[in-house]
Structure 1
Amino acid sequence: MALNYNKFPADVYSETVLAPDFEIYRGVFASELHAINLAQTVMLSRQGLLTEEEASKIAEALFFVEENVDVDSMKFDGSFEDLFFVIERELSQRIGIEISGKLHTGRSRNDMEHTMFRMVLREKLVENLEFHIQLSTMLIDKATKSLDETVLLYTHGQPAQPSTLAHYLGAIIEVVIRDMRRINSALHDVDLCPMGAGAITTSGFDLDRGLMAELLGFRDCVENSYGAIAACDYITASYSALKLSCIHLGRFVQDLATWTGFEISQLYVPDGFVQVSSIMPQKRNPVPTEHMRLMFSLAAGGANQIIDTMHNTPFADMNDSERETQSTGHQVFDRMNRALKLLSGFVDAVQVNKASVKKRIDDSLATITELADSMVRHEKINFRQAHAIAHLIAKASIKEKIPLKKFSYDSYCKYFESEIGSAPRMKPLDFKRVSDPGHFVDVRKLRGGPSRNAMLESLKKYKRQSEEIYTTSFKYNERISMADRLREDTARNLFIH
C-alpha cells in the first residue's frame, strides 16, 4: 500500500515527532499554557481588545477546560498538531470560534512557547537553588561543630599538613556559594517574559507586555522582541551554571570516597550509609559516594548535552531549543537534586576517625612545616636554612621510623649545629610542641586559616552570604505565588454573574 505523503501529518512524522512532542507538551507545559491563556484574557480585557462579555466567556471557558477536560489521558491522534490547538478547539466548541479566536490576538506560539519554557526552567532553577541552600546550611552547621576536629589534608595525592574538618569544609562552602551565585545569575536572566513579542516583531495591537510579565510572575519583559524568540543564552547560562556545580561537587565527593576508604579511613560512615558484600563478611561499602559521583557526572553530561545542542544553530526561533531539548534538560535537575539531597545527608552523618587521623599525621610527619617555621622564629635564621634542617630531620625520622613527637631534642641540636655551626636557642618544650597538630592549627591565625577564631570569622561570612541567596530564592517563590493568585483572581473577576 502506497504511503500518502501529501496529507498532514505524514504517519512517520506523527510517530517520530508529533506524538512524542505532544506527550512532552501535555506532561510538562500544560499548566503554563493555561496560565498564559488566563493572563492573555485579563490583558486583552484591560486593553479594551475584548468586550466585557467576550472576556467573561473566554475566562469561564478556560477554567471549564482546565477543570473538566482530561488532558492527562489524551493521546496524539493526528487531528491536531499540538496541545495549543487542542485547547483552542475545546474553547471554540464551548463558546464558538467568533469569540474564542480573539484570545490569540497579537500573540504567536513563538512567544507563548518561549514563555512556557522560561516559566518551567525558572521553577526548576529555584528548586535547585533551594537544594544548594540546604547543602550550604548543613555544611556551615557541620563546620561550626568541627572547629576542633583535626584532619590531614593532601596535595598531589600525598599527606601534606594537618588542619580541621571545619577548615576543609570552609573551602567547599565557598565553592557552593559561588555556584549558587552563578545559578542565581542565570535565574535572573531566565526571569524575563517573552509575551508580546509575537512571532518576531511584536504587534500593531495595543498590548500590555508589562502586565503579562506581572501576571506570569516575571520581574520584567525580554526587551527585544526578536531576542525574545531567538536568543538561547538563558538556556546555555542555566545549564553552564549547573554543569559547573556538578563538576565542583563531584570533586568534593571524590575526596569523600577517598577519605572514607580503608586505606585513608579519615572519616567514619555510619551503618545507615553502608552496604555489605554478599560473600565477604568483613566488607563495609560506603557506596553513597559512588552514587553521588555517578549522579553528578550524569547531570554534568546532561547539562553539556543541552549546551552543545545550541552550538551552530541559527539565531532564530528554531525547534533546537524547544520542547524536546527543554524536557531533556529537566532530567539534569532530577539527577542533580537527588545528588544534592544525598550529599547533605551523607556529610551530616560522617564522623572524623580520630585514631586514624592521628596515626597518619604521625606517620607522614605532617607537622614538620611548623618545625621549620619555629626555627625561623626562635633561631633567627632564614626559612631556607630552616627548611634544610627540617628536611634532614624528616629523612632521619622516616629512616628510623620515629614520629616527629618522639624525635629527640639532642638529635635536633646535632642537625642544627651541622648546618648552622652553633647551638640552637629553641628550648626542649618548644621543640616538643611543634609536633602537636593542635598547635599547628592554633598558630595559623591569619584570615582564612584553620585556627578557631579565624574559622569563626569565616563562618560568619559564609552564613551571611548563604542567607542573602536564600532571601533571593524566597522572593522568587513569593512573587510567583502572588502572580498565580493575582492571575486566577483577576481572571475569575471577569465573570459576569
Structure 2
Amino acid sequence: MKLWGGRFAKNTDKLVEDFHSSISFDQRLYRHDIAGSIAHARMLGETGIIEPAEAEAIITGLKELLAEIEAGKIKFAVDAEDIHMNIETLLTTKIGPAGKKLHTARSRNDQVALDTRLFLKDEIRRTQELLLNLLDVLVKLADKHKTTIMPGYTHLQLAQPITLGHHLLAYAEMFRRDFERLEDCYKRTDVMPLGSGALAGTTFPLNRQMVAEELGFAKVSENSMDSVSDRDYLIEFLAAASLIMMHLSRFCEEIILWASQEFAFVDIDDAYSTGSSIMPQKKNPDVAELIRGKTGRVYGNLMSLLTVMKGLPMTYNKDMQEDKEALFDSIDTVQKCLLTFTPMLESIVFRQEKMYEAAKKGFSNATDLADYLVRKGLSFRDAHHVVGSLVRYCISQGKALEDLSLEEFRKGCLVIQEDSCLFIQDDVYEALKLENVVGRRQTYGGTAPEQVAQAVERMETYIEERKKKLEE
C-alpha cells in the first residue's frame, strides 16, 4: 500500500506509476535525504514530539541504511515513487513502527527542498574547487608567457600585438567572476526550509534552528509558502553554470582556431585529440569541440527550468519534479568539462615563433605609429589619417610599416601637412618594434609584461585566499 494510499480506493495504474516515479534519477539524493532525516529525527526526540528512544532507533536505522546503500545492498523500488518514500519504507521495514514516526511534522514538499539545497551546496563547492584548479593552470601559463608576443584580434581581424600571458589572464578574469557568481548563489542556497510543511508550517513545536545548525545552514527560511514553491536557487545555479560553459566554449573556439593549420599557434596533446576513420593525417580537437557543443545542453536546462516555473501558482506543483534532471545534468556536464579542459589546457604546446610571426603581419603596430606622430605634435585624428594613407601605400608596395624609409614616412605625412615632416626621425623604427609596442602598454590591466606579472601576483593571492576559505 502507498504511504499516502488511505484516501484511494484503487491502485495506481502501472503506466502512471512509471510516469510518476522519480526514483530513477532522484536516488542520487540519498545521502542528503538521510542526513536531513537524521537531523529531523534528532530534533523530534529533543523537543519531545516523539520519544527519545524512538528518535535514536530512527537515527541508528538511517545510518545503517546509508551504509547498506553505499555498499550496493539496496535496490530502490519504483512503486515507492521517490527517494524520500523509498528511505522511509526501507527504514520502517528495518526498525518497525518507529519508522512511521519519522515523517511527523514534515512534508515531501519541504523535504525535497531541503535535499536539493543540501545537494547543491556540496556541488557548488565542488565546482568552485574545479574553477580554482583551472585558474591555477591559467596563472602558471600566464606567468610563463608574460613576454610571449601574439596577435590580438577584433572582429577576428588582426588588431594589435599583445602578450599570450595577457590573453590567458582575460579568461582567468572570466572564470574568477564565475567563481564569485557561485559564491553568491551559495548564499541564497544556504537556507534551511525544513519545518515549512506542505505549505503552511506545522502545528508541532519544531526547533528549526537546531536542524539548521546540525545540517550546516546559515539561516532558516522566513516564509513556508516560498520555501516549498520556488526553485530560484536552482535557476540561479543553472544561470551561473551557463556562463561557465559560455566562457569554456569561447576558450575552446579559440583553441580550435589556433590548432588549425591556418593559425598553427598551438599543438594539442595527443591525449586530448582524436583521429579520423578515413583520413590518416587528421588530428582533431574533439575535446574542445565537445565542450563547445555541450554548452547548448546547459543552456537548454536553464531554459527548461525557467519554463517549468514561469506559470506555476502557489505553492508546490508536480511540475517541479522536472527540476532535478536539469540540475543533475548541468552539474555533471559543467564538472566533466572543467575536469577535462583543465589538463588539456595545461598540456597544450604554444608555438611562440608562429604567434610572433603572425603578430608582425596586418600592420598591428599601426596604432603605435599614430601615437608616435601624436607625441611629435600632430592631433590624433590627423595622425590616424596619415597612418591610414601609409598603410594603403604599404599594401600597394607589399611592405610592412617598419620597412618604409624615412623619406616614405615623411612623404606620407605630407597628406595633412604641406610643410616639412622632418620630425619623423630614426626613432620611429624603435617605436614600431613589437616588443616596444607591447611594452608601452603600461596602464593598469594592460598587456605590458610588467603589468601581466603584477596581474599574475594578484591572481595568485586571490586563488590562495579562496582555497583557504573553501577548506574552512
How do 1:220-369 and structure 2 match up within 5 A? 220-322=219-321, 324-369=322-367
Q: CA deviation at 1:113?
A: 1.4
Q: Which residue of 2 aligns with 1:159?
A: 158
The amino acid that maps onto 2:371 is: D
Distance 2:230 2:279 in 1: 56
The amino acid that maps onto 2:24 is E
Report the Cα offset of residue 114 of structure 1. Answer: 1.0
| SS of alignment partner, residue 421 of structure 2 | coil
**Higher RCO (C-alpha 8 Å, min separation 6):** 1
The answer to whether the aligner puts 1:49 opposite 2:52 as a matched pair is no
Provide closer, same or farther for how the CA distance between residues 399 and 117 of structure 1 changes in structure 2, counting only shifts above 3 A.
same
State the distance in 1 between where 2:89 and 2:408 align.
Answer: 93
Give secondary structure in 2 for the equivalent of 1:160. strand
Contact 2:124/2:186, CA 8 A, preserved across alignment: yes
Q: Is the 8 A contact 1:149 1:352 kept in 2?
A: no
Partners of 1:249 and 1:65 in 2: CA distance: 40
Select between 152-161 and 56-65 the one with higher mean Cα deviation.
56-65
Whichever residue aligns with residue 125 of structure 2, its letter is V
Report deviation, 1:433: 1.4
> Relative to structure 1, is the Cα distance of residues 468 and 222 closer, same or farther in structure 2, using a 3 angstrom cutoff?
farther
Q: How does 1:77-226 map to 2 (within 5 A)?
A: 78=79, 80-97=80-97, 99-226=98-225
Deviations 1:166-225 (A, max 9, x none): 111222111111111112211211111111111222222221111111222222212212
Q: Which residue of 2 aligns with 1:74?
A: 75
Correspondent of 2:13 among 7, 10, 18: 10
Q: How does 1:405-420 map to 2 (within 5 A)?
A: 405-420=402-417
CA offsets, 1:287-309, max 9 Å, x none?
32212211233323333323332
**How has the CA–CA distance of structure 1 residues 411 and 51 changed in structure 2, closer, same or farther, with 3 Å as cutoff?**
same
Residue 401 to residue 233, structure 1, CA distance change in 2 (3 Å):
same
> Whole-Å Cα distance in 1 between the matches of residues 411 and 367 of structure 2?
19
Q: What is the distance in 2 between the residues matched to 1:464 and 1:304? A: 36
Q: Name the counterpart of 2:384.
A: 387
Distance 1:86 1:257, change over 3 A: closer
Q: Aligned partners of 1:209 and 1:356: how far apart in 2? A: 63
1:403 aligned to which of 400, 404, 429: 400
1:72 CA displacement: 5.9
Distance change >3 Å, CA 72–CA 114, structure 1 → 2? farther
1:427–1:47 CA distance, 2 compared to 1 (3 A): same
Deviation at 1:152, TM superposition (A): 0.3
Question: Structure 1's 85 and 282: CA in aligned 2 closer, same or farther, altered over 3 A?
Answer: closer
Q: How far has the Cα of 1:328 moved from its partner? A: 3.2
**Residue type of the partner of 1:455?**
V
- The answer to whether the Cα contact below 8 Å between 2:137 and 2:346 also exists between their aligned partners in 1 is yes
- How big is the shift at 1:77? 6.1
Q: Does the 8 Å contact 2:161/2:364 carry over to 1?
A: yes
For residues 400 and 328 of structure 1, the distance between their equivalents in structure 2, rounded to whole angstroms, comes to 59
1:376 to partner: Cα distance: 1.0
Give, as a single letter, the amino acid of the residue that structure 2 aligns with 1:349: S
Distance 1:407 1:182 in 2: 51
CA, structure 1 residues 77+186, in 2 after alignment: closer, same or farther (shift >3 Å)? closer
Match of 2:370 among 369, 372, 376: 372
Q: Is the 8 A contact 2:42 2:56 kept in 1?
A: no
Percent of residue pairs identical:
25
Q: Contact (CA 8 Å) 1:197, 1:225: kept in 2 or not? A: yes
Q: State the shift of 1:76 in Å.
A: 3.1
Query: CA 1:357 to 1:72, structure 2 compared with 1: closer, same or farther past 3 Å?
Result: same
1:485 corresponds to which residue? Answer: none
CA 1:343 to 1:66, structure 2 compared with 1: closer, same or farther past 3 Å?
closer
Amino acid at match of 2:36: I
> Is residue 125–residue 187 contact of structure 1 (8 Å, CA) maintained in 2?
yes
Distance in 1 (alpha carbons) for counterparts of 2:393 and 2:259: 31
Is the CA contact 1:250–1:297 (under 8 Å) kept in the aligned structure 2?
A: no
Shift in alpha-carbon separation, 1:246–1:304, aligned structure 2, 3 A: farther
Q: Any gaps of 5 or more consecutive residues in structure 2?
A: 1-7
Report how far residue 459 of structure 1 moved: 2.5
2:148/2:165 contact within 8 Å kept: yes
Cα gap change, 1:77 to 1:371, in 2 (>3 Å): closer
Per-residue CA distance 1:425-465 (angstroms, 9 max, x = gap):
44643121132111101111111111122222323333333
Structure 2: distance between partners of 1:65 and 1:283: 52
Deviations 1:130-174 (A, max 9, x none): 111111121111111111011101111211110001111222111
CA contact (8 A) 1:270 1:349 kept: yes
Q: Which runs of 5+ in 1 are unaligned?
A: 476-497
TM-score, normalised by the number of residues in structure 1? 0.86
3-state SS of 2:361 partner: helix
Q: Is the 8 A contact 1:196 1:202 kept in 2?
A: yes
Give yes or no for contact 2:42–2:55 (8 Å, CA) kept in 1.
Answer: yes
Q: Is the 8 A contact 1:362 1:404 kept in 2?
A: no
Alpha-carbon distance between aligned partners in 1 of 2:346 and 2:91, rounded to the nearest angstrom:
53
- TM (normalized to structure 2)? 0.91
Q: Does 1:36 pair with 2:36?
A: yes
Asked if 1:473 is matched to 2:458, the reply is no
- Distance between the aligned counterparts of 1:58 and 1:415, measured in 2? 89
Residues 325-362 of structure 1: per-residue CA shift (max 9 Å, x gap): 21332111111112112222222222332332233233
| Separation (CA, whole Å) in 2 of partners of 1:156 and 1:81 | 53
Q: Which residue of 2 aligns with 1:435?
A: 432
Which residue number corresponds to residue 484 of structure 1? none
Q: Are 2:245 and 2:334, in contact at CA under 8 Å, matched by a contact in 1?
A: yes
Q: Does structure 1 retain, via aligned residues, the 8 Å contact 2:308–2:319?
A: yes
